[in-house]
Each structure stands twice: as C-alpha cells, then as structure tokens.
Structure 1
C-alpha cells in the first residue's frame, strides 16, 4: 500500500474513533469524519466500503487479541486448579490465582478506547451484543475447566446450561463494569481481585467441590 494511502487510512481511523466515541455508531457522521480528515466522503468509501466497515476496522484487531487471550486462558484451564488453592483446599490470593483476569484487565486498559467503542458505542453494529460474546467465551472456558474437575471426581453438583450461563455472566460482570464505568486502573485491579475471591468461593459452593479429594487429603 502506497505511503500516502496508508497515511490517509490512518487519519480516517483516528478521526472516526473520535467521532464514534463522541456520538456512537448510529449518530456518527461520515461527512464529519471526512471533513476532519480533509477528504471527501467518496474518498473515505474508497478505503472503507461502509460506515460499519470503518467501525469494524477500528475494533476487530483488538477483539481478535481479546479472543486470543481467552483462548490462551482456556488452554491452561487445568493449571488453574493448582494455582488458586493451598494443599488443604483453601483459596489463596496470589498473582497466579488472579493471573488470567489481570491479564485481561491489562489488555483492556492498553486498548481502552476500543473497548469503549465495542461496549458503549456499537449500537447498530454486529458488536452491539459484545457482552454476550464474552460471556459465551467464558462459558466455553468454564466447560473445559469443569471437565478437568469432573475427570478428578471433584464435582458433586452439575450445572445446567442456563445455570452455567448465569454464573459466567456473573463472573464477567466485574470486567464489564470496568469498561462501562471507566474505573481507574488501580481501582479496577483491586475490584476484580475482590470479585474473583468471591467467585471462586461461590464456584466451590455451587458445585459442591471438595478440594481435599483433589490434593489427596482424604
């Protein structure tokens, strides 16, 4: 791609991000974006076929990164069994215990404007149900985590699909709150760590887990 074309595309993306953040997708004006970029609307359409294609160009790379991060956490699901409990089965608050959710918080704050676009400015696009997308990713990972525990005979109470979906929605809510209410990074980290503590405790109670069995204490 020619240098001038790259510069024009980057300028359009910069001004489009500002317009979408200020007005949301539906009220954002391609004419305004063009004017701020020193281009005609037709020139923008030579780079992006529609307003939604422009919005997608802004958010898709970051969404892919978040999806990849979720997939990574799913791949190491079995390791979490060892990371979050002491030998006697009690919960520990450690860097490893919260590593996954803190990696996601770091990623969110490194790309905060784009998450703001997806969560708060995407009405009228395919991203308007983005919270449900992340809940389903959490459901996918939780099913793998549950399978690891089932293989060890740890789960005494099996959740229905509805119950699992509701629980995963609860798990993801602190992350959604961080985005929707624009917490400071330090406040977000402390809030998510606190919620993780409660969620691990609730998880054990709901599924009636006995960690002592896993660690050979009974």
Structure 2
C-alpha cells in the first residue's frame, strides 16, 4: 500500500524520536508537534505510539523470523538428501544472508535491538533463540537416530550457547558497525561457534 506524504512524515519523525529516546521515553506529543500535524491526523493512521513503532519495525523484523523458519526447514532437507555433513556450511551461508538482510533494514533492527523496551519486540532475540533451540534439538535427535551424531548437550547449555551467539550477532547493530565490518565479524563468530559445537556434539 502506497504511503501518503503525511504518513511518510509521521514515520520519519517517529523513527528519529524512537531512535533518540527509545520507545518508553518517546513522546507522542513531540512526534505530532514536530511532524506538524494534529493528533487527529496522527490517529487517522495509527491508533497508538506502539502502532507507530510496529509500522516502523514489523515488516523487517517479522520477515526475518519468517525467513529464519525457512532456513531451519532447509536443514531437515539435508537429512532426506543424506547431506547432513553440509549442515554447518548451510548455517554459515544463511548467516551471511541474514546479516545482509539486517543491514538492508538497519534502522528497523536498531529500533528492535536498542529501543524496543515496552513493545512486543522487547524479547525479539530471546524469541529467535527459542525457535533455534526448539528446532535444533529436534534436528539433532534425527541425526542421532541416523547414527550421524554422537554427543549430547543439555538443553540449558544449548540455550545459553545459542543466546550468546545471537546476542553477539546483533551486537553489530547495537554498536553501529559498518556492513563490511559486520560480515567479517559474524563469519569469524561462526567459525568459533562451529568449532565449539563440533567438539561437543561430534558430528559424523
């Protein structure tokens, strides 16, 4: 749906306010005043401050989760194709795709990671971690049944490691790294964590 000039102005000013103050401290009154419109004009587009925040972040943040779920499914396809040895390479490939997607929508993810307290996105990283752990636990179980995995990892430890990994990836956004820096950083991160997983799980 095409945005009106009024809507574009509200989004532009709202993004600046949220980035500067975070969702909780951002002032709807200040947004409306700076945008040069009445509250009535604002409410014609968004029924609350949170609805405005959602409009700024939901398209990118929700799409990343959808793509993340597709990436998880791709690992199950390795099982049926007897290519499970390529699992870590596939994960790294998707990681590069995701970091570029994040940087294509940098401001939206900056809002999610740094400014979302008080919104449904405040636990965004945790939700990704839960998705990853749930699916990976099931994937590892399938590998064990096929005799392709020897080691085991307690779920609590699995969650801790995954949380550390995801938090580290999003540190690129929190610290305003350039895209080039971020890509180099997360690829080195992938090497580090892949070595750790290989040591713990003993893939065959």
TM-score tier, shorter chain, comes to 0.7 to 0.9
Partner of 1:160: 154
**Structure 1 equivalent of residue 200 of structure 2:** 206
| RMSD of aligned alpha carbons | 2.1
Q: Which residue of 2 aligns with 1:178?
A: 172
SS of the residue corresponding to residue 17 of structure 2 reads helix
Distance 2:18 2:44 in 1: 19
How many corresponding residue pairs?
Answer: 199
Q: Distance in 2 between matches of 1:154 and 1:19?
A: 51
- SS of the counterpart of 1:158? coil
CA separation in 2, counterparts of 1:82 and 1:164? 20
| Distance in 2 (alpha carbons) for counterparts of 1:130 and 1:97 | 20
* Offset of residue 176 of structure 1: 1.8
Q: Please state how far the C-alpha of 1:197 moved relative to its aligned partner.
A: 0.9
The CA deviation at 1:66 is 0.5
Provide the rounded CA distance (Å) in 2 between the counterparts of 1:186 and 1:103.
13
Extract unaligned runs of 5+ from structure 1.
86-93, 212-218
Aligned to 1:28: 26
- TM-score in terms of structure 2 length: 0.87
Distance, in Å, in 1 between the alignment partners of 2:173 and 2:146 is 36
TM-score (norm 1): 0.82
Residue 129 (structure 1) aligns with: 123
Bigger radius of gyration among the two: 1
- Structure 2 gaps of 5+ residues are none
* 1:64 maps to 2:58: no
